[in-house]
Amino acid sequence: MKKTADIFFTAYGSQNLEPQNSIGAKWERLLAALPLANIATQRRVAVKMHLGGGYGFSTVHPYLVRKLVQALYGAGAGEVFVCDSPSAVRHAAERGYTTETIGCQIVPVAGTADKYFYSRKITPPYLSLEEIELAGEIVDADAMVDFAHIKGHGCCGFGGASKNLSMGAVVGSTRRKLHALEGGLDWDAALCSHCGKCAKHCPNHALTFADDGNFCVDYHACKFCQHCILICPQKAITMSGNGYQAFQEGMARASAEILKTFAAGRTLFISLLQNITVFCDCWGMTTPSLVPDIGIIAGTDIVAIEKAALDLIRSEHFIPGSLPPGMSLNGEGHLFEQIHGKNPYVIVDALEALGCGTQKYRLKEIS
């Protein structure tokens, strides 16, 4: 019988207006309940985060990061550093992340040129995914805290602890391999008005129009984020293959490879259920929250924490008017599935099948 994982939880709301019962104070009590000494003592600890970009500001608040860093040092860590992609690190100060505000250095996860990595074979290969490139700073660390901001995602339903690793603790070439599992981009010339919004708003500058007016995709740069699909006013771009399940399965395999680089007991997962928006922070913009702020969960089992995060986000708490124009709730299932048409629990099943943890959990509330 599979064991049951403990997931520590503190609710965002408070029973009264006393500061010691607010989320900031409860965050400190949550940290005190975690086995930080087992993870951090005399070790170099990487805190993997998504620092956001563009016009977005609904990322993890620097105050929460600072308290985590202080707690890790208080537990005996030899060194703590926060890491993310080179671009996110370069612009981290725009969202309040600096060495002074969070209390530790902020480093590009795979070097400033995104070229510091370790290759790992996927055995057996999964579809076209045969090898991935793990970010060097993550592999070199002695321990890791995966501090994720939970949100929806157009490609896979939602982004949580696993996506923070599989897409954030690798280099760009691996992100493209994972997204390529979904399929490709199809363009309908008859529908296209050549307004150029797709190319203008592509975060990776992967789209152009040739002199003859044909739509061109640089698949070396394209990360299959589907921003072009959603922003096209004529719906002239579609995704072929619709392989979101393959994308989820691929991400699970990447996360599993990353976790293999750490000894047992050297990883911790923290997920923030606040500012839960419809799209990933990588879109570079902040949109209304889909549900009221829920709280913070933490534990040592990535499968259990992903399951708990999804279970805590309930469709009955959906805030009317929070979806962008043209989007609506459809069908049944999880709230994210009703929005994006993709079952977010696929990643949970895939991670469990790979032996990364258990879906059985108990919430231990920190009041």
Q: What is the C-alpha to C-alpha distance for residues 110 and 119, in angstroms, rounded to an integer? A: 12
- Which CATH number fits the domain that encloses residue 202? 3.30.70.20
Q: What pLDDT is stored for residue 242 in this prediction?
A: 54
In a domain? residue 342: yes
Whole-number Cα distances in Å, 63 to 27, 60, 302, 365: 10, 8, 24, 21
Shared domain for 209 and 267, answered yes or no, is no
Indicate if 214 and 160 belong to the same structural domain.
Answer: no
Across residues 248-266, what is the average pLDDT? 96
Phi-psi region at 127: left, alpha or beta (left = phi > 0; alpha = psi -120 to 50)? left
Statement to judge: residues 261 and 198 lie in one domain: no
258 and 330 within one domain: yes
pLDDT at 220: 57
Strand partners, 133: 119
Number of domains in the chain: 2
* 41 within a domain of the structure (yes/no): yes
In the predicted structure, residue 324 carries a pLDDT above the cut 80: yes
Q: Note whether 193 and 117 are same-domain residues.
A: no
Percentage above 70 pLDDT, the chain? 97
Q: Which H or E run includes 84?
A: strand 79-84
CATH at 47: 3.40.50
Mean pLDDT of the chain: 93
Q: Are residues 83 and 167 in the same domain?
A: yes
- Cβ neighbors of 16 (< 8 A, separation 6 or more) are none
pLDDT tens digits along 51-109: 999 999 999 999 999 999 999 999 999 999 999 999 999 999 999 999 999 999 999 99
Q: Indicate if the pLDDT at residue 221 is higher than 70.
A: no
Residues 228 and 133 in one domain: no
State how far Cα 252 lies from the chain centre: 12
Whether 343 is covered by a domain: the verdict is yes
Residue 178 within a domain: no
Residue 92 phi/psi, 5-degree rounding, is -60, -35
Note the pLDDT of residue 1: 47
* Residue 258 structure tokens: 């990353």
The pLDDT assigned to 222 comes to 72
Q: Residue 235 is part of which domain span?
A: 184-239
pLDDT higher than threshold 60 for residue 181? yes
Question: 1-5, 70-74, 107-111, 355-359: lowest mean pLDDT where?
Answer: 1-5
Task: Please indicate, yes or no, whether residues 332 and 215 belong to a single structural domain of this protein.
Answer: no
* Domain identity same for 167 and 199: no
Q: In this structure, is residue 179 part of a structural domain?
A: no
Paired residues of 209 in beta bridges: 215
Residue 267 in tokens: 């990883």
Shared domain for 136 and 231, answered yes or no, is: no
What is the average per-residue pLDDT within 308-314? 98
Most distant CA pair in the chain: distance in Å?
66
Give this prediction's pTM. 0.88
d(CA 335, CA 344) in angstroms, rounded, equals 9
Last residue of a domain, one of 224, 239, 254: 239
> What are the residues facing 7 on neighbouring strands?
363
In this prediction, what percent of the chain has a pLDDT beyond 90? 81
Kindly state whether residue 101 falls inside one of the protein's structural domains.
yes
Helix (H, G, I), strand (E, B) or coil at 312: helix
CB 146 within 8 A of CB 164: yes
Task: Please check whether residues 283 and 322 belong to one and the same domain.
Answer: yes
Residue 339 belongs to a domain: yes
Residues 332, 199 share a domain? no
The answer as to whether 263 is a domain residue is: yes
- At residue 241, what are phi and psi to the nearest 5 degrees? 95, -45
* Residue where a domain terminates, one of 198, 224, 239: 239
